[in-house]
Structures are given as structure tokens and as C-alpha cells.
């Protein structure tokens, strides 16, 4: 049996009540919410989860904490770190890895997920190359954004550029087309 989750409005109202110092029981009662719905919603709502932990979910430090938690979650289900960065829209988790505790957590989660992890490597197929070049030819599109649109990582693009002169020329032409628009 699946427990119903809170609506976005209900969750926002509960977070506001918690931020203003109300206890969970008092706030849930005042808003007419079932605690089972609160727990079910907290599984997928980071703001609510942070408020339940007694912190302000809108605090600037919480954004980084949420991104790190999401990164670890993706590693736990077997997503490669480079793909996790694409999913999260993060430029690179390498800055996070300068924190020894987080680096250790990443290593531990990756090791635990290894039997279930992604085993194939995403290649720059002709279809992906076409999507990449099309995206790169649009104004203000970076290599990172174009790579994400094609479903590959920027390092994969640069590796291909380094070893494939025709691909490098096609990239240069796409960038020139973007500048002309």
C-alpha cells in the first residue's frame, strides 16, 4: 500500500511552520496533515527533509549539501560520476572531493554499488556527434551544455577532438556558426 504524499503547497506550508519554530506534531495537526504523508514526502523532497532535520532549507549551505546528497544517491544506484554530474547539471564534483570526508563517502558508495554499476561506456556515436554539433552551433552554448544535450561528457568530447582532426574541424565550424547568429 502506497502512502499518499503531500502536495507541493502542503509541503511548503509545513516547511514554513517548521522554520517558524512549530513542532512537527503541532504543525501537522494545524495543517490537517497525516504524519505518514509527511514521511512519504520526505523521501523525495529535500527541502522538507532538511526542515524535519531542524535546519533552514533555504540557507545557502543547504544547496551544496543537497547536491552532494544527490550525487551520492546517484553513485549508490550505479551511475558513473561523470554521468551523475550531467544529471545534476554540476560542472564538476572534483571540488567537492577536496573534502576528505566527502571523497571517502564517494569511494565507499561507489565500491558498494560496483556490482550494480554501469558497465558500458557511452560513446560518441554518429547520432550523438550530430546532436552535439547541432547544440554547439547555437549561440551561447558551451561545450559542457552541448555534450549534455548529446548525452556524453565534456571530457569525452575533448578526447575525441584531440584524436580526430575531422571532429575538431566540425567543432570549430559549429562554434563559428554560433558566433554568426
Q: What is the pLDDT of residues 7-52, one digit of tens each?
A: 999 999 999 999 999 999 999 999 999 999 999 999 989 999 999 9
Given a cut of 80, is residue 100 above it in pLDDT? yes
pLDDT at residue 119, rounded to an integer: 52
pLDDT over threshold 80, residue 115: no
Cell numbers for 117, please give them: 554499476
% of residues, the chain, pLDDT over 70: 91
Burial track 129-139 (b if 16+ CB lie within 10 A, e otherwise): bebbbebbbee
Element containing residue 151 per DSSP (H, E): none
**Helices and strands in the chain: count of H runs, count of E runs:** 11, 0
Q: Report the candidate in 46, 29, 33, 47 with the shortest Cα–Cα distance to residue 4.
A: 33
Q: Name which of 72, 70, 79, 82 is nearest 107 in CA terms.
A: 72
With CA atoms as reference, report the closest residue to 85 among 165, 132, 17, 148. Answer: 148
- pTM (2 decimals)? 0.58
Report the pLDDT value the prediction gives residue 91, as an integer from 0 to 100: 67
| Distant-in-sequence, close-in-space partners of 39: CB < 8 Å, separation ≥ 6 | 3
Q: How many CA atoms lie within 13 A of 83 on its CB side?
A: 16
C-alpha cell at 84: 551523475
CB 37 within 8 A of CB 24: no
**Average pLDDT of the residues in 56-85:** 86
Amino acid at each position: 500500500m502506497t502512502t499518499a504524499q503531500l502536495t507541493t503547497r502542503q509541503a511548503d506550508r509545513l516547511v514554513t511552520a517548521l522554520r517558524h519554530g512549530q513542532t512537527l506534531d503541532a504543525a501537522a495537526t494545524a495543517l490537517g496533515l497525516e504524519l505518514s504523508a509527511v514521511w512519504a514526502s520526505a523521501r523525495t523532497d529535500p527541502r522538507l527533509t532538511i526542515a524535519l532535520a531542524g535546519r533552514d532549507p533555504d540557507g545557502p549551505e543547504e544547496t551544496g549539501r543537497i547536491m552532494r546528497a544527490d550525487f551520492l544517491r546517484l553513485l549508490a544506484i550505479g551511475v558513473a560520476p561523470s554521468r551523475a554530474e550531467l544529471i545534476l547539471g554540476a560542472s564538476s564534483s572534483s571540488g567537492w572531493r577536496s573534502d576528505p570526508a566527502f571523497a571517502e563517502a564517494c569511494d565507499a558508495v561507489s565500491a558498494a554499488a560496483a556490482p550494480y554499476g554501469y558497465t558500458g561506456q557511452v560513446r560518441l556515436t554518429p547520432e550523438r556527434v550530430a546532436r552535439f554539433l547541432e547544440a554547439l552551433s547555437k549561440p551561447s552554448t558551451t561545450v559542457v551544455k552541448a555534450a549534455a544535450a548529446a548525452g556524453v561528457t565534456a571530457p569525452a568530447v575533448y578526447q575525441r577532438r584531440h584524436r580526430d582532426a575531422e571532429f575538431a574541424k566540425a567543432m570549430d565550424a559549429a562554434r563559428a556558426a554560433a558566433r554568426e547568429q
